[in-house]
């Protein structure tokens, strides 16, 4: 049996465009001789459609698009495509299509409602675990979360005789997830003695990025094929369902279990006289990116799709000569092209000559345009305007933040005048502890690196230089001490622990929900831990006002980590 996994990049709400993409992939799969073609979860609607699912017209268009797609699938070939089904209620569904008809509508059984997922808000849980008979082989179909559980439909289908388990998915990316997902799928294949076909979505959707990374495993749990990460792909493989029987004859474990009810069998007619490919297809196993490579590609894809799918064309960002704006600019140029990115240098009396030189060198290395707007005159004007109100008071963080807000105003003015989208450049470490200025460096339309910790920012910048084989991020940017340069001789460590100390504390508290005692027991200073946790808790109101940005860690701020702003809970010393 020749299978094709159509790893396509859908757009939420573009029902007919998504259907056309699916049809184009179908044509290529048929030309390659595929018997079974799979698509991602909710292909017709895009994922996640969120409250568009409240609109009956949207549901109806998605159903009509499914029917039009089904009409293109010939007899003897099966396609499995994600859509939203309506049967008294809404279901996250997979249509099994052949011979111009929808032969079965499988309804997703395990609805994720954690992290970024909110499927119980929209869908009803499905029932049953049918299998489709295609060329004598039984193929079990499931949707995304269904395969993540050791039991469930995959187990029932395998015990019911399925030799192939097909899972269509929209599994969003975060760092280290791809390797974990591969291990899980390999275990499913070896445990059930079945081929596992996993077809994943690729593309950016607001803060989410889907990494593709579709895979095929054989009944022994060995990897057969792997699609590209972060790019559209059509992965083909020749599989031999009879190997599943051989595997089961040598592994008696499944004989100890029986399905609760025999699965329903959907018969798919064989095509009379269908030509079989004479030559076997070459199985591609694309290499995996390193962690920094994955993060870079996720940022590039997320930003590129955010602009492309929303009809934006050009970006503008402040270039300070620091590491964060350097990474944001490198991502923007990679995603949008240097001709569509403008960097703005906004020096003040506290900006060092090295920072100006580094910003100019970065822009030259990237081939992007720059403008320079000095903020000194505006800062002087603000201080004069506020002289009466601030009479007798020393300068403090207020004047520091004024400079940041002046820069935010300059960028927003350029955005208004030319229709450019402002990219804010704050990282996750800063966002976590509130080391950022509302209406200043937080201003913008998209926060490129808001979920990238500072230490990872450095690692990704070094990766970019290695990837390009030349110095993109100037070496002086990589080695100099971080500073906001809002007062004389300012350093980030004046206000925060060193980032190699701060970031592990933040990861433990934000992503792992560890308490003070647990973090201290891991070797961190108790005063540092308490101070960092207090800063994180106090900054919640700021983060709610930040622009959306790309999720790359296991728990991002926003729709992923949800904490109340009004919140009096704090861990007491005696609670430890």
Q: How do beta strands 208-211 and 202-205 pair?
A: antiparallel
Q: How many other C-beta atoms can be found within 10 angstroms of the C-beta atom of residue 99?
A: 16
Residue 277, SS3 per DSSP: coil
User: Catalytic site residue 461?
Assistant: no
CA dihedral 450, 451, 457, 463 (to 10 degrees): -120
> Residue 551 catalytic?
no
- Kindly list the distances between the CA atom of residue 524 and the CA atoms of 19, 452, 502, 518, 569, in Å, as whole numbers in the listed order: 53, 22, 10, 10, 22
Q: In whole angstroms, what is the distance from residue 408 CA to residue 424 CA?
A: 9
CA angle at residue 356 from 354 to 361, to 5 degrees? 90
Q: Which of 21, 94, 108, 551 is catalytic?
A: 108
Residue of 41, 156, 292, 294 marked active site: 41
Q: Is 108 a residue of the active site?
A: yes
Cis? peptide before 401, omega within 30° of 0: no
State both tokens at 487.
């007062």
Query: Token pair of 297, please?
Result: 């590609």
Q: Are 299 and 461 in contact (CB under 8 A)?
A: no
- Alpha-helical (H) ranges within 71-176 are 153-159
In Å, how far are 100, 272, 533 from 74, measured between CA atoms?
Answer: 6, 11, 60
**Closest by CA position to 239, among listed 209, 217, 264:** 217
Q: Of residues 21, 94, 119, 144, which has the active-site annotation?
A: 144
Catalytic residues: 41, 108, 144
């Amino acid at each position: 049996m020749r299978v094709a996994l159509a790893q396509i990049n859908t757009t939420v709400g573009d029902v007919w465009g998504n259907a056309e993409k699916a049809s184009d992939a179908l044509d290529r799969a048929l030309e390659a001789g595929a018997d079974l073609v799979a698509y991602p979860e909710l292909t017709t609607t895009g994922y996640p459609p969120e409250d568009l699912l409240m609109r009956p017209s949207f549901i109806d268009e998605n159903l009509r698009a499914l029917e039009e797609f089904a009409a293109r699938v010939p007899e003897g070939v099966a396609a499995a495509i994600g859509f939203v089904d309506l049967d008294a209620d809404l279901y996250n569904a997979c249509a099994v299509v052949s011979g111009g008809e929808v032969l079965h509508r499988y309804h997703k059984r395990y609805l994720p409602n954690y992290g970024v997922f909110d499927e119980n808000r929209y869908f009803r849980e499905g029932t049953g675990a049918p299998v489709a008979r295609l060329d004598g082989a039984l193929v079990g179909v499931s949707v995304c979360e269904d395969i993540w559980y050791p039991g469930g439909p995959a187990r029932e289908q395998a015990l019911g005789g399925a030799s192939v388990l097909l899972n269509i998915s929209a599994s969003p990316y975060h760092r280290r997830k791809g390797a974990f997902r591969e291990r899980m799928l390999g275990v499913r294949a070896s445990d059930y003695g079945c081929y596992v076909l996993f077809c994943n979505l690729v593309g950016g959707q607001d803060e989410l990025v889907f990494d593709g990374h579709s895979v095929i495993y054989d009944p022994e749990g060995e990897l057969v094929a792997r699609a590209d990460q972060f790019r559209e792909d059509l992965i083909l493989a020749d599989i031999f369902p009879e190997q599943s029987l051989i595997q089961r004859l040598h592994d008696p474990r499944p004989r100890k279990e029986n399905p609760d009810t025999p699965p329903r069998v959907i018969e798919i007619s064989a095509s009379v006289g269908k030509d079989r490919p004479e030559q076997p297809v070459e199985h591609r196993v694309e290499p995996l990116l390193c962690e920094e490579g994955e993060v870079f590609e996720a940022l590039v894809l997320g930003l590129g799709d955010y602009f492309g799918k929303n009809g934006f064309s050009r970006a503008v960002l402040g270039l300070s000569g620091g590491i964060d704006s350097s990474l944001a600019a490198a991502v923007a140029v990679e995603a949008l092209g240097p001709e569509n990115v403008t960097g703005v240098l906004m020096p003040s009396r506290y900006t060092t000559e090295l920072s100006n030189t580094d910003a100019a060198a970065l822009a030259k290395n990237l081939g992007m345009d720059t403008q320079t707007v000095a903020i000194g005159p505006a800062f002087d004007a603000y201080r004069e305007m506020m002289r009466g109100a601030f009479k007798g008071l020393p300068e403090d963080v207020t004047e520091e933040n004024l400079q940041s807000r002046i820069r935010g105003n300059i960028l927003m003015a350029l955005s208004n005048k030319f229709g450019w989208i402002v990219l804010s450049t704050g990282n996750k470490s800063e966002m976590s502890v509130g080391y950022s200025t509302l209406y200043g460096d937080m201003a913008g339309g998209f926060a490129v690196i808001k979920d990238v910790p500072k230490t990872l920012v450095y690692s990704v910048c070094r990766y970019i230089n290695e990837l390009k084989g030349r110095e993109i991020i100037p070496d002086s940017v990589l080695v100099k001490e971080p500073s906001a340069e809002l007062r004389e001789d300012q350093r980030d460590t004046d206000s925060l622990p060193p980032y190699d100390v701060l970031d592990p504390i933040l990861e433990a508290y934000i992503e792992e929900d560890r308490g003070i005692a647990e973090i201290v027991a891991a070797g961190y200073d108790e005063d540092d831990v308490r101070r960092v946790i207090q800063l994180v808790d106090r900054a919640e109101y700021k983060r709610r006002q930040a622009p959306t940005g790309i999720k790359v860690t296991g728990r991002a701020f926003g729709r992923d980590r949800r904490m109340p702003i009004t919140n009096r809970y704090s861990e007491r010393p005696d609670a430890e």
